[in-house]
């Protein structure tokens, strides 16, 4: 395609209110899908640019330099070879005649082409490119079908399906409208502005006028990013004017951007007496229920005010402000009632009702889970350096707030309210904190529990769920993970590694399986169940370290030794990553590969260890003596988990190993000598295997 002679293209799908949390992705993928489809049919080049627009009532894309027609193309079709196309007298054969007929021409009109395999008949036909007006509608439909919409809906008696009912459609190429029907709506050149501030359709004279017309006449900010920036500026400025500030909250900012077309920030207030409740209650009421921004003082304390973003301008704005204040007061009144009511009973007393809360249909109630957690907490508290009595007490209480009125109204506050109620009852701070912190980490990169007691409860809670759900036959499949077990497995690994807990995974899983067998919830908690969970967690281990930048070969080399404890795995991996940076690492890795190959191909039964009396060559003696010298020190290093120091000592073997392979023949005819040399090599390889199988390291560093 030569220099562009095209014009801009605008496509707008006008809908009822779109889901705000999905708006950004819908806008981005619709635009990318349209541009990709246009590129596929050669209406745009790689140099063409596009912009996406998304508001609660519209998805739109603007594409530059869209050609008016596809380029003409020459279509080539190869026929029979000349040898098969003509007989000895030069007359066309049936093969040539049939090919010409199928191409709609005569044999004399066919061309010839020379290839490496000979000369062939060929037919070339010029195909005229289709017009953009013919191709663009199908490109739009293709982009719409590819949108990530989990559940499409129909409206009226129409067969069309989309995320929301569609009311208007704009397809404008330059200054000309393309007439088509998509999603049961006829296209035109008229868009619509704000639902209340602009009731008349807005005619677009050109695709390039879209954003300007909506901004100037329609009371709509169509660009998602521009609208988000406008909201941020208004909200932060309003907070500063009222001697406060806003904590960054991109999730809320994105959601509010998806709710309004013409943002206007307003500040409202509530009675300071509500500040006597936990701040999390107020923030949840404002953020999650009303989509308000909480305002904080200089010391991080919550102020008795909030900022809401209205979708309309009103002068004066008092009625809008008062309406929001009235709604929030009703919510806070309810929350205060729940707060007072819940505290009239101890957290332990609330927990007596956990028998009415189902954990899983095959695994019993939350009360059953609490009993298992108490058992596991008692078993592993000392291994985590935590007080056993407090761990057991925390296990008794950590799920009790699930049956409180406050958590019933504000589910996101589970754990948080348990901590407040535990403190209200005079429970030790470690126990109270465990009520909230045992849910950590909630997501990837989240903080870990802050105390040993909370760490133990976070660990055993996840282990219990993993064993239970796997035993119930509902382990994750494909991309489906309804019980968030992948996140739980990663949490287990982070707790064990980052909190430096010297606890084995199988020991945890075996104890959890035993707790289920004792309770009788499921009787077949056998080794295969534990093995499946162990493999599942170890799969997450690889991803955990890849995300940190470790090489896949480094991870594989350590995994080959099958360390029983994630903390041990971590120490080995970090030692291997440093070892491979040494000058001698690549030589020793290559030598270990060679040793593995020799041992694998050897037909002899290799002795358990070499006999120093059968070591005869100088190079062989040098290597054997160095192994014996290092053995004691290296064993002490590895026993104390000083893997880095041990590998540094093994790195000193480079010279004797290189010399051994240069001067010594391993597979000699004399059987005793041959077996002894094989035993010597196996001893060398096994010394490295106490950390990792370095033969798996690639020549180039994996980091």
Length of the chain: 703
528 and 585 together in one domain: no
Q: Give the domain-ending residue among 217, 241, 257.
A: 217
Instruction: Write the CA distances from 154 to 16, 22, 174, 181, 191, integer angstroms.
Output: 13, 19, 32, 16, 22
Indicate the number of domains in the chain.
Answer: 5
Q: Is residue 567 part of a domain?
A: no
Q: Is residue 701 part of a domain?
A: no
User: What single DSSP character describes residue 586?
Assistant: H
Does pLDDT of 675 surpass 60?
yes
pLDDT for 689: 84
Distance CA 575, CA 569 (A): 10
In this predicted model, what pLDDT tens digit does every residue of 22-50 receive, in sequence order? Answer: 999 999 999 999 999 999 999 998 788 99
543 and 400 together in one domain: yes
Q: Peptide bond preceding 526: is omega within 30 degrees of 0, i.e. cis?
A: no
588 and 499 together in one domain: no
Q: Across residues 299-313, what is the average pLDDT?
A: 94
Q: Which residue has the higher pLDDT, 681 or 173?
A: 173
Task: Read off the CATH number of the domain in which 640 is found.
Answer: 1.10.730.10
Q: Is residue 614 part of a domain?
A: yes
Confidence bin at 521 (pLDDT 50/70/90) = low
279 and 314 together in one domain: yes
Strand partners, 612: none
Q: Is residue 553 part of a domain?
A: no
In this predicted model, what pLDDT tens digit does every residue of 611-641 receive, in sequence order? Answer: 778 888 888 888 888 888 888 788 888 888 8
Q: Across residues 533-559, what is the average pLDDT?
A: 93
Half-sphere exposure of 590 (CA within 13 A, CB side): 11
Task: Read off the CATH number of the domain in which 173 is found.
Answer: 3.30.70
Q: Give the domain-ending residue among 548, 563, 598.
A: 548
In which residue are the tokens 């006829």 written?
A: 186
For 500-551, give the secondary structure using H, E and C: CCCCCHHHHHHHHHHHHHHHCCCCCCCHHHHHHHHHHHHHHHHHHHHHCCCC
Rounded to the nearest 10 degrees, how much is the dihedral formed by the CA atoms of 255, 261, 264, 269?
-40
User: What single DSSP character describes residue 193?
Assistant: -
In this predicted model, what pLDDT tens digit does every residue of 559-586 receive, in sequence order? Answer: 998 899 999 999 999 999 998 888 888 8
Task: Read off the CATH number of the domain in which 515 is found.
Answer: 1.10.3210
pLDDT for 676: 84
Q: Is residue 568 part of a domain?
A: no
Cα 191 from chain centroid (whole Å): 37
Q: Whole domain around residue 123: which residue ranges? A: 78-127
**8 Å CB contact between 589 and 694:** yes
pLDDT for 522: 60
Give me the phi and psi of 446, to 5 degrees please: -70, 165
In this predicted model, what pLDDT tens digit does every residue of 122-149 receive, in sequence order? Answer: 888 877 878 889 999 999 999 999 999 9
Confidence bin at 703 (pLDDT 50/70/90) = very low
In this predicted model, what pLDDT tens digit does every residue of 47-98 receive, in sequence order? Answer: 889 999 999 999 999 999 999 988 877 778 888 888 888 887 888 898 888 9
Q: Is residue 52 part of a domain?
A: yes
Q: Which residues contact 634 (CB under 8 A, 6 or more apart)?
A: 646, 649, 650, 687, 690
Q: Is residue 564 part of a domain?
A: no
Residue 161 class from Cβ within 10 Å (0-12 exposed, 13-18 middle, 19+ buried)?
A: middle
Does pLDDT of 401 surpass 60?
yes
233 and 247 together in one domain: yes
**8 Å CB contact between 178 and 172:** yes
Give me the phi and psi of 439, to 5 degrees please: -80, -10
Instruction: Write the CA distances from 123 to 71, 77, 83, 100, 113, integer angstroms.
Output: 20, 5, 17, 8, 10
Cα 497 from chain centroid (whole Å): 21
374 and 415 together in one domain: yes
Confidence bin at 107 (pLDDT 50/70/90) = confident
Distance CA 627, CA 621 (A): 10
What letters, b where the CB count within 10 A reaches 16 and e where it falls short, cover 659-669?
bbbeebebeee
Confidence bin at 1 (pLDDT 50/70/90) = very low
362 and 477 together in one domain: yes
425 and 509 together in one domain: yes
Q: Across residues 586-604, what is the average pLDDT?
A: 80
Strand partners, 124: 76
418 and 508 together in one domain: yes
Q: Peptide bond preceding 434: is omega within 30 degrees of 0, i.e. cis?
A: no
580 and 679 together in one domain: yes
Distance CA 559, CA 574 (A): 13
11 and 160 together in one domain: yes
pLDDT for 702: 42
Q: Is residue 559 part of a domain?
A: no
Does pLDDT of 206 surpass 50?
yes
Q: Give the domain-ending residue among 501, 532, 548.
A: 548
Question: Where does 114-223 have alpha helices with state H?
Answer: 132-145, 210-217
Q: Across residues 421-449, what is the average pLDDT?
A: 95
511 and 541 together in one domain: yes
């Amino acid at each position: 395609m030569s220099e562009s002679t095209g014009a801009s293209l605008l496509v707008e799908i006008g809908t009822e209110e779109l889901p705000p949390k999905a708006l950004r992705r819908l806008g981005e993928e619709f635009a990318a899908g349209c541009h990709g489809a246009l590129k596929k049919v050669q209406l745009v080049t790689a140099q063409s640019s596009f912009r996406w627009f998304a508001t609660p009532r519209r998805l739109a894309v603007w594409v530059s330099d869209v050609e008016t027609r596809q380029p003409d193309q020459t279509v080539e079709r190869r026929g029979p070879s000349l040898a098969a196309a003509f007989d000895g007298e030069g007359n066309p054969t049936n093969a040539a005649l049939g090919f010409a007929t199928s191409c709609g021409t005569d044999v004399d009109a066919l061309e010839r082409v020379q290839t490496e395999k000979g000369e062939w008949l060929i037919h070339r036909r010029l195909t005229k490119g289709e017009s953009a007006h013919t191709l663009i509608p199908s490109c739009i439909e293709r982009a719409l079908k590819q949108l990530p919409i989990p559940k499409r809906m129909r409206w009226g008696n129409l067969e069309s399906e989309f995320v929301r009912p569609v009311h208007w459609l704009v397809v404008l190429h330059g200054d000309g409208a393309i007439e088509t029907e998509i999603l049961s709506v006829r296209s035109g050149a008229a868009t619509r502005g704000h639902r209340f501030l602009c009731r008349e359709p807005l005619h677009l004279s050109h695709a390039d006028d879209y954003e300007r017309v909506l901004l100037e006449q329609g009371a709509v900010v169509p660009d998602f990013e521009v609208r988000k920036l406008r909201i941020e500026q208004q909200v932060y400025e309003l907070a500063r004017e009222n001697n406060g500030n806003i904590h960054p909250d991109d999730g809320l900012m994105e959601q509010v951007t998806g709710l309004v077309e013409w943002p206007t920030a307003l500040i409202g207030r509530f009675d300071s007496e509500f500040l006597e409740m936990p701040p999390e209650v107020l923030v949840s009421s404002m953020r999650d229920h009303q989509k308000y921004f909480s305002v904080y003082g200089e010391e991080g304390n919550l102020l008795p005010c909030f900022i809401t973003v209205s979708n309309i301008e009103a002068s004066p704005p008092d009625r809008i402000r008062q309406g929001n204040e009235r709604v929030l007061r009703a919510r806070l009144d309810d929350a205060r009632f729940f707060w007072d009511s819940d505290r009239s009973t101890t957290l332990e007393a609330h927990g007596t009702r956990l028998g009415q809360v189902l954990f899983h249909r095959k695994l019993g109630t939350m009360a059953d889970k609490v009993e298992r957690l108490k058992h596991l907490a008692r078993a592993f508290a000392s291994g985590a350096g935590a007080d056993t009595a407090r761990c057991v007490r925390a296990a008794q209480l950590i799920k009790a707030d699930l049956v409180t009125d406050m958590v019933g109204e504000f589910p996101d506050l589970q754990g948080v309210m348990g901590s407040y109620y535990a403190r209200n009852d005079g429970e030790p701070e470690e126990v109270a904190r465990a009520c909230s912190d045992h849910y950590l980490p909630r997501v990837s990169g989240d903080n870990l529990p802050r105390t040993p007691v909370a760490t133990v409860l976070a660990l055993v809670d996840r282990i219990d769920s993993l064993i239970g759900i796997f035993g119930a036959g509902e382990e994750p499949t494909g991309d489906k993970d309804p019980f968030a077990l992948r996140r739980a497995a990663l949490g287990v690994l982070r707790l064990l590694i980052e909190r430096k807990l010297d606890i084995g995974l199988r020991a945890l899983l075996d104890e959890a399986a035993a707790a289920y067998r004792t309770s009788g919830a499921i009787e077949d908690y056998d080794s295969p169940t534990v093995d499946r969970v162990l493999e599942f967690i170890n799969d997450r281990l690889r991803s955990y370290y890849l995300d940190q930048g470790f090489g896949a070969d480094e991870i594989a080399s350590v995994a080959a030794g099958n360390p029983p404890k994630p903390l041990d795995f971590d120490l080995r991996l970090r030692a291997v990553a440093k070892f491979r940076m040494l000058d001698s690492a690549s030589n020793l890795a290559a030598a270990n590969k060679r040793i593995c190959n020799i041992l694998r191909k050897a037909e002899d039964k290799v002795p358990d260890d070499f006999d120093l009396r059968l070591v005869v060559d100088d190079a062989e003696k040098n290597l054997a003596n160095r192994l014996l010298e290092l053995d004691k020190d290296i064993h002490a290093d590895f026993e104390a988990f000083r893997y880095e120091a041990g590998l540094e000592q093994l790195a000193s073997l480079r010279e004797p190993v290189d010399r051994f392979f240069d001067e010594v023949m391993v597979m000699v005819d004399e059987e005793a000598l041959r077996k002894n040399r094989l035993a010597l090599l196996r001893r060398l390889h096994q010394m490295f295997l106490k950390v990792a199988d370095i033969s798996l390291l690639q020549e180039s560093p994996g980091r």
